[in-house]
Structure 1
């Protein structure tokens, strides 16, 4: 890494926290954008005349691109004011979603999703370590948790809310709403965030060094790939899975909102546990997710049963982001920026891979195959957890 000496003015505590909230809204908008198609595959596929498996590429494409752009954007913009970088990335996301809302061909939607992926990977990587530049040192941990709360809240609440909006007014207004939210985030970043000149520049050479020299980081990346791939293998296609069980279209959004509320509870439960029981919490997440997916596959669900399963599933997944991020920080306290860049890449690769494998399973075997394969991958995380030494 190289160091620059560009001076910067420390913002007042109040303005610093306002800047933290602006960045949090930005990352919430980005992650909601990346995962929004999960609840809207069927209407998008029907309107643009593609299969549900093909429509799953709307999740696969930005996931793959985000995995590449996370380290690439961080390195390429290493000497640029972080405020400017965040503003450009969030603006790109907003415009891409507005383009999707007016698209008449699926190819246009996929092109827009490519730019969403660029925004997600770059923004998340930079935002993860930005709290240190915005608030006093004693508040850094709390501010970082707030920023990463945007990732968690998007995963467990933003997507269900977007699905609910899509059920009410169609998929195009849902995409347009996320685009507008991105532009609102842009204004917040420009108005509330101070200049943040680069201090340390991450080089590509730092990434393999962290991977090769830290068994804890390697274990965390493997866990992320297994659990997140398993989750999205099934969750990307939750709409056709529930429809196959006879759940009415107008109830899908309600069930995903139930998932989201349970996910927020799972986040707080995990936050109370991981300080002392990090490894058992990771193992518990794998077991809960696998159980939820197996029950979805084998149970003939009515609305009440489906709601109960969404609560179980949401509790498990809501605990994932804060727990796995803590694993990475715990494993690499002195190289957090490089380790987090690898983690962001792995997380987004897993999203893309899960959507891709789920699409192949749904189109080739049937909707039930997706949760079965997802549960199998989640359970494969258990040997990794048991083999990893330390807390």
Structure 2
């Protein structure tokens, strides 16, 4: 049942959704900001970009462990208060990053941040449909997911600009203040949200990991997200070394990437509602093409920018299309399927960042790009040769719990 009665002013309902969307925006910006400030951050911590890039691995692993279990461990706690506390944890993680002088405290800070991120990710998209009338539930989830996409468009590029103008620590300090403000806003804008009714435990009468379309979807996501983050984590060093792009130009390129990512998010959501498998495979092809172009011709600035535009357009739709694939394949068991999806997605972010850092340290940028391209090809091939969820002419129903992890 929705937390707001139907007769309550719609403005209040959408204000609550907007606050929730801003929370996902700050969460994803906090997670991904090291991508935009990786070079000065590594210098400030006295380490290499490859090692600093491992900070994304730490956050992803912690979030992957937290997200699937958080709803089960929270009991009857008011979900509004829980998400507010998680935003305070996010703020604590960011302030520890500001104070870090070496990799050890950075690792601690990203662990704290990962816990807050995992809780927000597992609950925010589940809360969104409860804030509006039933017929507006899908839009509420889309807007909450839009905060994730907007983090790429505005958050990371803006953080990069702030980092260049005032220092990378100031950028993380700004996120600290934003998270604290949103924690307070949640308590004001949202109603009390008791624990929802328990979900069913089986999809179509069989366990999730024995449902072929669910397993295939998870495999495709693992390879595709790992491929993306293995390469994308080091996009700044790639642009600086291959094309001689300045720091300000890097921020502009990331902004362009994010704009097309936002377009991809909403376009893929519309397409995947009817054909989730075909949409995910089209996105995988786009990512494969973009990374291959960078591996072959990254020294040509025009080609590099065009490839990054395609990359943003394709990857921007992965999270929403993958989510629809999973909820369609696990009809009747969306909550558990989404918890599993969140864990696999965030673990793949961690794996990608770790793999990218390892390959770039041992072999360099070009072998890293070819490694990422190979992983994207495996994802595409797996999806082509294996069964996917059923297609439909109707829009995908809004799941009880849904998510959209990292640009």
* TM-score, L = length of structure 2: 0.89
User: 2:317 maps to which residue?
Assistant: 319
Distance 2:312 2:4 in 1: 41
- 1:388 is matched with which residue? 387
Query: Is residue 92–residue 113 contact of structure 2 (8 Å, CA) maintained in 1?
Result: no
Secondary structure of 2:132's partner? coil
Report the secondary structure of 1:200's partner residue.
Answer: coil
Residue 295 (1) aligns with residue 293 (2)? yes
Distance 1:183 1:261 in 2: 27
> Mean Cα displacement is larger for which, 268-277 or 13-22?
268-277
CA contact (8 A) 1:22 1:188 kept: yes
Q: How does 1:147-166 map to 2 (within 5 A)?
A: 147-166=144-163
Q: 1:320 to 1:56 in 2, by over 3 A?
A: same
2:400 alignment partner in structure 1: none
* Structure 2, unpaired ranges of 5+: 392-407
Q: Where does residue 216 of structure 2 map in the other structure?
A: 219
1:125 matched residue in structure 2: 122
**Which of the numbers 41, 45, 48 marks the counterpart of 2:45?**
48
Question: Is the Cα–Cα contact under 8 Å of residues 164 and 254 in structure 1 kept in the other structure?
Answer: no
* Equivalent position of 1:367 in the other structure: 365
Query: Which of 208, 232, 235 is the aligned partner of 1:235?
Result: 232
- Counterpart in the other structure of 1:357: 355
Q: Is the 8 A contact 1:151 1:321 kept in 2?
A: no
CA distances 1:230-286 after superposition (whole Å, capped 9, x unpaired): 000000011111112122233111111111111112223223322333222211111
Quick check: 189-198 or 298-307, which moved more?
A: 298-307
Which deviations, in whole Å up to 9, do the C-alpha atoms of 1:48-105 show, x marking residues without a partner?
1111111011100010000000022211103111011100001110122122113223
C-alpha contact 1:210 1:217 (8 A) present in aligned 2: no
Relative to structure 1, is the Cα distance of residues 87 and 202 closer, same or farther in structure 2, using a 3 angstrom cutoff?
Answer: farther
The residue aligned with 1:263 is 261
Contact 1:32 1:154 in 2 (8 A): yes
1:282 to 280, 283, 302: 280
* Contact 1:101-1:173 within 8 A present in 2 as well: yes
- 1:167·1:253 contact (CA, 8 Å) conserved in 2? no
Q: Quick check: 2:125–2:141 contact (8 Å CA) kept in 1?
A: yes
Aligned-residue offset at 1:8: 6.3
Tell me: CA distance 1:273–1:206, structure 2 relative to 1, closer, same or farther (3 Å): closer
- Give yes or no for contact 2:68–2:340 (8 Å, CA) kept in 1: yes
Greater Cα shift, 289-298 or 160-169 = 160-169
Would you say the 8 A contact 2:98–2:169 is kept in 1?
A: yes
CA distance in 2, matches of 1:254, 1:303: 13
Count the aligned residue pairs.
384
Provide the alpha-carbon RMSD of the alignment: 2.1
Task: Report how far residue 153 of structure 1 moved.
Answer: 2.1
Contact 1:210 1:339 in 2 (8 A): no
Give the structure 2 partner of residue 101 of structure 1.
Answer: 98
Residue of structure 2 in register with 1:31 after alignment? 28
